[in-house]
Every structure is written in C-alpha cells, then in structure tokens.
Amino acid sequence: MPRRTPATSSVRSSRLHSSHSPQSPRHFAVVGAGVAGIACARTLLQAGHQVTVFEKSNQVGGRTATHDSPFGSFDAGAQYFTIRDERFALALDTAPNVFRPWSANAIRVLDATGHVASASQPPGEAHWVATPGMSALADAWAEPLRQGGHLHTNAHVVAIERDPVKPQHWQVRAQSPDGAQQVVAGFDAVLLAQPADPARSLLTQSGIQTPLVAEIAGVITAPCWTMMLAFPQSVRPGLTTLGPQWNAARSTHHRIAWLARESSKPQRGIVERWTVQASPAWSHEHLNDDSSRVQAKLLKAFAEVTGIHAQPGYVEMRRWRHAQTTQPLGRSHLLDSHMGIGACGDWCLGHRLEDAFLSGLELALAVDFSVNFQQQIATGMLESMKAIPPGA
C-alpha cells in the first residue's frame, strides 16, 4: 500500500468492534454523493441505520470529477489531496489501490508573467492523487452504497416535505433528467451534503424554518472556470512534453490561478494534457460569459504563462459555480435535531477534499450517538469500511 504522511489527530488507536447496532435504527436521506455525502452515508450504514442517498448527477464524487477525453483523462475539479487527519488516513487505508503519490516537487509559484517565483511545496507534505483519476476514490467508497441499493443517481432533490401520512417524518421529491419526479417518504432526518448555496436554496425553497438557513448564509464560496487542453501532436519520438519543466504551478497571473500537467500524474497516459484553473476573482467576473469567450481568453493567458503557443488538439471547458470555500462555517457540520435536518460539506471546515470527508463523518456521528459512543463508532467504522458486505 502507498506510504503516506504520519497521522496527526487525537483519535484513539484501540481496535474496536467493526459493527454497531443503534438502539433504534432510523432512516436517513442524504442529499449529494460527493465525498461528504458518501462519508456520512457510509458511517450511518455502518452504525446500522437505513440510508438513501440522492445524487443529481449520473455519477458520484461531485467536485472530484474526472473528465475523459480521447487523449486521456483530466481531473476537472480537485487536483490532488493531502492527508492531515488520522480518520481520513484510516478511511484511505480501506481503498489502498486507488491512490498514489504525485511527485509534487515540480509545483512552482509563478509571477504574473509566468516566471518561476519560488517552489511552493510545504516541506514534508505529500501530494496524493486517486488513480486512474480523482473520481476513483469516491467511486471506491461509494461501491457498497451502490451495491446495497442505497444510492439513487440522476435524482435531483427539488423539495423536502413533511410526509403527509406520518407528519413527523420527511419525504424527498427527486427529479430525473427527463423531468419525471418521484417522492420517497419515511425519513427520520434529511442530511444535506451539497455545496453551501444549493443547500440553503433547497431549504428555503422547501419552506423549512430552521436556523441552518441563516448559518449557511455566512459561508462564502468562489467559482472556478476550468480549461482542459490536450496536445496529441507533442507525442512523437524525441519529444514527450511541451513548454515548461515544471508539472504544476500556482500562478499570480490575473486570469490563471493554477496549472497542472495531467500527464505527469500516475496512471494518466502519456499525451501532453494540461488543466488550467482561472483565478476566483476572474472566474467571478466572467461567470456568466459564453464558454467560447472564456476559452479564448484563458488560452491566451495559458500561452503567456507556459510559453506553449501550439494549438491544442482538444479543449474542454467546465464552469464550477461553487468551487472553493473562501469563508467557511467554522465548525464541522450543522444539525437541527428538533427538525431532523443536517448539513455537511467541505464548506463547513475549509476548501479541501479532506474537509469534506471529515464534515460528512462528523455529521453522521452527531445525528445519533452519545458523545462517548461517538469515538467508538468513529474508530470502528473507519477500520471496517471495507468490511461492509455488499447489500448490507
């Protein structure tokens, strides 16, 4: 299994039983199958509850998306992850074959003209990528949910309503891409694992009176225009890469904040490919521009920063409306126990994949268990995530 950085949190290392039966199993709806939603749902399942996950996309993983092209894949969202918390490290241990270190010694900081200002990697902090693409991690973690029939994809939750038959319960109204709606009833609680703005909108549109709405309103996120480029013409004898010697860089160019050579990541294929992320301010300013206009401007900036003036053989654009948290909530999750409504996501703690995982985990622990029992569940669940039998 891959080597990783030493664990840092205070979780006890004692080995505990791998399954737990709650006093009274309950049924939870989880809205969103990004890393936070998957961590939340897996924890609740492990604790013996019933869980139904609704995901509006046809795949899981949210902002850890992998984009496939004829020339190889791109990490369209999260580029890599770091490991700072023991619980995240334990969960990663359950999927050892889907992540590898990425040689980030090539990460640079560029000045506005594209010149290298400094090497930016903090000493000792390894950079990891899922393989063969970033979405592989969420895919692996979601597999027991999928196999157990707990995951509904293409299910966009458009309303949360009181169950007319049992008004103390919730029902969820979900819409498929063809516009058809289905109502799934009988939930004790609904846990939102969406980005902050969509979570707040869903609560507001559903007319749910909860202090969560005001608390989420304090969270600020920034958009990100992302451009993915392939240069198949660079693959010929004696020439494997174009442009700079570095493989990734943070940039202070006013249009571009980050660039990475996708083909430098493990198991990604050899065709020269770059992912370019526009800066938060520039993305915000051009959020509603036509994609082709944004592409033209970012291509110009890409050439300025990298010195690559060749025309790419492939270009794909992606607009992330809620890419990165700039003002987090400041605690791991939100829970209105009285109403049976909770919320989690990276935005609770920060802007990283690991933040999303920890938030989902903490929300699941908070919805049911006593404080003493939480620690046991945390350690037991993390050690046994791989032990959940399909269909459990």
Ligand X SMILES: Cc1cc2nc3c(=O)[nH]c(=O)nc-3n(C[C@H](O)[C@H](O)[C@H](O)COP(=O)(O)OP(=O)(O)OC[C@H]3O[C@@H](n4cnc5c(N)ncnc54)[C@H](O)[C@@H]3O)c2cc1C
Q: Could you list the residues that contact ligand X (CB under 6 A)?
A: 31-37, 54-57, 62-64, 77-81, 156-157, 193-195, 198, 202, 224, 226, 277, 320, 323-324, 345-346, 351-353, 355-356
The distance of closest approach from Cβ of residue 204 to ligand X in the complex, given in angstroms and rounded to an integer, is: 13
The least CB distance from residue 324 to ligand X, in Å, is 6
Q: Alpha-carbon torsion 161, 213, 288, 110, what sign?
A: negative
The DSSP element (H or E) to which 375 belongs, if any, is helix 371-384
Minimum distance of ligand X from residue 338's CB (angstroms): 23
Distances from the Cα of 314 to the Cαs of 70, 133, 178, 214, 277, in angstroms?
9, 18, 30, 43, 16
Q: Which is nearer to ligand X, 16 or 317 (CB)?
A: 317
Q: Considering the complex, what minimum distance in angstroms separates the CB of residue 374 from ligand X?
A: 21
CA–CA gap between residue 134 and residue 143 (Å, rounded): 15
Closest contact distance (angstroms) between CB of 257 and ligand X is 9
Tell me the two tokens of residue 258. 């980050």
Closest to ligand X by CB, 55 vs 86, is 55
Regarding beta strands 27-31 and 189-192, do their DSSP bridges make them parallel or antiparallel, or are they unpaired?
A: parallel
Cis peptide leading into residue 132 (ω within 30°): yes
Lookup: tokens for 376: 């046991």
**Closer of 182 and 240 to ligand X (Cβ):** 182
Q: Is-contact 234 45, C-beta < 8 A?
A: no
Residue 337 DSSP one-character state: T
3-class state of residue 29 by DSSP:
strand
Based on CB atoms, which residue is closest to ligand X, 234 or 325?
Answer: 325
Q: Give 156 or 162: the residue with its C-beta nearer to ligand X.
A: 156
Smaller CB separation from ligand X, 219 or 224: 224
Q: Closest distance between ligand X and the C-beta of residue 203, in Å?
A: 11
- From residue 52, alpha-carbon distances to 153, 187, 333 in Å are 11, 9, 19
